[in-house]
Chains A and B, each alone.
Chain A
Amino acid sequence: MGKRTRFSVVTLILVLSLVISNVKAEIQLQNQEIEKKIQKAIDAVYPALVQIYVLSLRHSRGRGRKFESAGSGVIIAPEGYVITNHHVAGKATSIRCILSTREELKAELVGTDPLSDIAILKLDMNSRPVGSSPLPLAHFGSSETLAVGEPILAMGCPLAISQSVTRGIVSNKDMIIPKRMSSPLRLDGENVGSVVKWIGHDASIFPGNSGGPLVNLRGEIVGINEIGLGLGGAIPSELANSVSLELIKHGRVKRAWIGASFQPLLKSKSLGSTKQGVVVSGVIPGSPSEKAGLEAGDIVLAIDEIPVQVRFEEEMPALIGQLLSKPVGIPVRLKIKRKMLQENLEVTPETRDKARGKEAEIREWGITVRRITLMDSKEMHRRNQKGILIGSIRPGGPADKSIPNLRPGDIIVKVNGRPIDGIKSFRHLTTEFCGKKKTLAAVVVTFDRKSERFLTVAEIGLRNPRNPPVEVTKAWLPISTQVVSRKLAEVMNLRGKKGVRITQVYPNSSAQQAGFRVGDVLTHVGGQIIEVSELQDSEVFETMVRAYRVNDVVDFNIVRNGEKSIVSAKLVEMPTSEEQLQVYQDMRLEFEARDVSYMDQITNQWSGLESGAMISQVDSGGWAAVAGLRSRDLIKGIDNKEVGNVKDLKSHLEMAQKNKVRNIVFFVKRGIHTLFIELEPNWKDTDGDNLVPGEK
Chain B
Amino acid sequence: MNCPISIKKGLLLITWYFFASIASQADIQKTALIIAEQSKAVVVTVRVVLNVKRSMRGQTRDEERKTEALGTIISNTGLTVASLSAVDPTTIVSAMIRRSGNLGNSIESEFKETTLILDDGTEVESDIVLRDSDLDMVFIKPRQAGSTFNTIKLQPSNKKPQLLDPVFVVGRLGKIGNRAITLNLGRLQSLVKGPRPYYICDATISANVGCIVYDALGDPIGILLTKQNTLGFSSGGSNFGGGQMIMPILRSIKDLLEIADQVQQPQPRQDE
Contacts and interface: CB of A to CB of B under 8 A. Distances in A.
A469 B129 contact: yes
Interface stretch (B2-10, B115-123, B262-270): B262-270
A647 B135 CA distance: 33
A290 interface: no
B234 A536 contact: yes
B64 interface: yes
B21 interface: no
A540 B230 contact: yes
Contact of A471 (B62, B131, B270): B131
Given A395-B62, A473-B267, A538-B99, A543 B230 contact: yes
Contacts of B101: 535-536
Interface in B127-160: 127-135, 137-138
Contact of B111 (A469, A539, A547): A469
A533 B267 contact: no
State the main secondary structure of chain B at its contact with A: mixed
Given A396-B62, A472-B130, A546-B134, A536 B262 contact: no
B148 to A, nearest CB: 24
A445 interface: no
Given A469-B128, A581-B270, A547 B195 contact: yes
- Sorting the interface of chain B by its residue count into under 10, 10 to 19, 20 to 34 or 35 or more gives 35 or more
B195 A472 contact: no
B69 to A, nearest CB: 15
Contact of A547 (B100, B130, B134): B134
Interface in A350-396: 395-396
A466 B234 contact: no
Nearest to B99: A536
Nearest to A645: B270
Contacts of A576: 269-270
A582 B272 contact: yes
Interface size class of A (residues with CB under 8 A): 35 or more
A580 interface: yes
B251 to A, nearest CB: 11
A84 B270 CA distance: 51
B61 interface: yes
Given A472-B259, A547-B134, A401 B64 contact: yes
B27 interface: no
A537 B234 contact: yes
Given A395-B61, A401-B62, A472-B132, A540 B231 contact: yes
Interface string A566-603: 00000000001000111010000000000100000000
Contacts of A96: none
B97 to A, nearest CB: 11
Contacts of A129: none
A428 to B, nearest CB: 27
Contacts of A534: 231-232, 234
B53 A537 contact: no
Interface in A657-692: none
A645 B128 CA distance: 27
A526 B197 CA distance: 13
19 contacts: A395-B62, A396-B60, A397-B62, A469-B111, A469-B131, A472-B130, A474-B134, A532-B231, A534-B231, A535-B101, A535-B232, A539-B98, A540-B231, A543-B134, A547-B195, A552-B195, A576-B269, A646-B270, A647-B271
